[in-house]
């Protein structure tokens, strides 16, 4: 990620405890936001064909790693 150092910003660590890779929280201060009256709505089209394709794709997955492992790490 590249940040223009002329802008005001803060960076703080996000300690989530889930792994040894912590996240970073970037807060941009005084960011100019252009005003727009255009509203977009995105919807996913579902039907018999898309549901069948999703179920077919799921059948190709190997679930042994998920169900056969007791180690949460």
pLDDT of residue 73: 65
pLDDT at 29: 82
User: Per residue in 20-54, is it b (16+ CB within 10 Å) or e — as a string?
Assistant: eeeeeeeeeeeeeeeeeeeeeeeeeeeeeeeeeee
pLDDT at 56: 92
Which runs of E-coded beta strand occur in 2-59?
8-14, 23-29
Query: pLDDT in tens for each of the 73 residues of the chain?
Result: 777 777 788 888 888 777 777 888 888 888 777 777 888 888 888 888 888 998 999 888 887 777 777 776 6
Using the structure block, give the residue that is written with the tokens 């180690």: 71
pTM for the whole thing? 0.36
């Amino acid at each position: 990620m590249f940040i223009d150092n002329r802008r005001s910003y803060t960076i703080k660590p996000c300690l989530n405890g889930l792994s040894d890779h912590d996240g970073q929280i970037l807060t941009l201060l005084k960011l100019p936001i252009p005003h727009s009256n255009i509203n977009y709505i995105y919807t996913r089209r579902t039907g018999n064909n898309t549901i069948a394709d999703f179920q077919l794709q799921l059948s190709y997955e190997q679930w042994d790693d998920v169900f056969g492992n007791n180690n949460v790490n």
